[in-house]
Chain A
């Protein structure tokens, strides 16, 4: 039972549509009870990967295992899936809608009703229970859609861009729910191209670009391996120093401060000394962990 800690295991999975390769030789391990970020720009192959995991499409080659087994109809009931672009039946009442999505996942009886009430209360939409979904605002509809993915208490929850278009209050609400589910021991696959969001909730990540894996692993380890090579600087003067390619590989200037990535072989001490020597007045000089965004950009622009 070595696979007990691995909820989803992909082994050299490939999928192409006609001449377009969507996913190439992808191997992944999604560990149980963790939030796994499937990251990458649009068109990287995230949605195709997810569709193969939930058994909507079959891979051309390679194998996919869920809960240590090959995917089948029965296992589908243990997955909750919220696709990126999703909708509801416009004219159906919220409660009927949720009941249908619970029943399609083989839930039956009184449990369904109590779950509907419980989840509606949790996302603060109890009074909308008997409204038609077309009467709901977009944000409310998104919360109902979220419930359709979790109402049957799945062991594996797959969320594709769950927060897009939500206001900050509701993002916070859903994020808390996702973290609660993680604490309950659920495995969560979280797909997004927004690195800042992923950075806050993912334990592990896998970065896809152009249908291939760029890297994967625990978020903390990845960050550590990249070292503290990003520096936030606020200073007057000394601009020429930040533009020296021997010291700084990349500089991004914001309103009153700049972010500099150290060039290979350069160190922060040298940079600071050079800035002082150039007569710059330094207000801030802070070494930072690289953001996921920086790592991503570095990685995808790196020559292979």
Chain B
């Protein structure tokens, strides 16, 4: 036991004192906020307006399309209410159009096409839309685009023409303008979350928190799993393991390593957690006083505890497997290759975040939050969105930590043999044989 603590102490002190730890502690939150801000900034880059000609063979649509596009540009959110908070990308930059009407009565369609194609080749025009005479009944329009890689403009254009067609059909049906305005009046959808103290207003902040927590969980497990892998390979490569095995039981050494690194991880997460809380408490007010509204929902203390528990669960599952892998390989490169499947499983369990956050109460969400490999992210997402009954959380932890014990038992048996084997990478059948040996 005392030797186990010596191993834990070395692992903890050496890592927390390392420059890498300090740099990472500061840099990661900075990087994460950059990942949040930079895409928004990039999407905000002004692009020149798209020049589109409308060949209106119906003779009634041009002004409607124009109006629909203009209203789009003035109130970008009006059409956006159903898209949910993840569509924070400002669409304004993609909906800038310069329209021109092409007289469709004097020339034949093929002549018009030829002229427009000519102008597109000369780069005087970016695209044109042909609204056939039976457009309003058939609902089919053609869009010739100089830049087919642009995925956004056709969508904006389609939605504008769609609205324009609806408007025109209503006019044709002799609906007066007042009724039409009533019909098209936008609605507002306000997300409301049921909290312990009744209903709280929520405008997408929760989603960001859920995503952030899931991502930090995933990243921390991945990062610290890799650190364990590196630590095990270092001791094997340098043959320090042999000296240590002559002084301390292999199981105590492996556990000391896992626990030591887990304490480093918890230290780092605690620093981030405190920084985040401090920001939520003081920073938001400060930003608000400067006119920047930020909405950070309050996180109950229990969520911090659940986060720590599920982080430890995920960490011990993955890091133990990493330790096992580390004892089987001879170099860091080999370790990286053999660890690929683990990273894949981890990544998949992170992506489960989407279906789970959409329907946290579904049977699917229930089962993935019970499977130890996906439980850390899945259960945490459920806790933050719609806290499941306590027995489910307890069951998930019970299954998870029981699996951890099984994995540790298995890993320890392979570890004590693998750490002394040099020369070549152990094959999976070899590892199984070691695990079977008494």
Chain A contact residues, CB within 8 Å of chain B: 51, 54-57, 73, 76-77, 79, 81-83, 85-92, 96, 100-101, 103-106, 148-149
Contact = CB atoms under 8 A, between A and B. Distances in A.
B246 A101 contact: no
29 contacts: A51-B420, A54-B246, A56-B245, A56-B246, A57-B420, A76-B246, A79-B246, A81-B243, A81-B247, A85-B239, A85-B422, A86-B243, A87-B237, A88-B238, A88-B240, A89-B14, A89-B238, A90-B238, A92-B14, A96-B10, A96-B14, A100-B6, A104-B3, A104-B7, A104-B244, A104-B248, A106-B2, A106-B3, A149-B243
A55 B243 CA distance: 11
Nearest to A158: B246
A303 to B, nearest CB: 33
Contact of B239 (A87, A103, A104): A87
Nearest to A53: B246
Contacts of B3: 104, 106
Contact of B246 (A55, A100, A106): A55
Contacts of B422: 85
Name the 4 nearest CB pairs between A and B, nearest first: A87-B238, A54-B246, A81-B246, A83-B242
B147 to A, nearest CB: 52
User: Which of A56, A57, A79, A86 has the most CB atoms of chain B within a 10 A radius of its CB?
Assistant: A56
B238 A83 contact: no
A83 B243 contact: yes
Contact of A89 (B234, B242, B245, B247): B234
B119 to A, nearest CB: 66
Contacts of A148: 243
Contacts of A76: 246-247
Interface string B396-425: 000000000000000000000000101000
Contacts of A85: 239, 422
A73 B249 contact: yes
A105 B239 contact: no
Interface string B1-15: 011001101100010
B18 interface: yes
A296 B244 CA distance: 33
Contacts of A104: 3, 6-7, 244, 247-248
Interface in B216-275: 234, 237-240, 242-249
Contact of B238 (A54, A56, A73, A86): A86
Interface of B is mostly: helix
B244 to A, nearest CB: 7
A57 B245 CA distance: 9
B10 A100 contact: yes
A24 to B, nearest CB: 20
Given A85-B422, A89-B14, A101-B247, 8 more contacts: A54-B246, A81-B242, A81-B243, A83-B243, A89-B234, A92-B14, A103-B9, A104-B3
A87 to B, nearest CB: 3
A56 B420 contact: yes
A73 B253 CA distance: 14
Contacts of B249: 73
Given A89-B234, A100-B6, A105 B247 contact: yes
Nearest to A133: B238
Contacts of B247: 76-77, 81, 101, 104-105
A88 B62 CA distance: 78
Contacts of A83: 239, 242-243
B72 to A, nearest CB: 58
Given A56-B245, A86-B243, A91 B18 contact: yes
A82 B244 CA distance: 11
A232 to B, nearest CB: 41
Contacts of B243: 81-83, 86, 101, 148-149
B14 A86 contact: no
B240 A90 contact: no
Nearest to A77: B247
A90 B246 contact: no
Nearest to B256: A104
Contacts of A56: 242, 245-246, 420
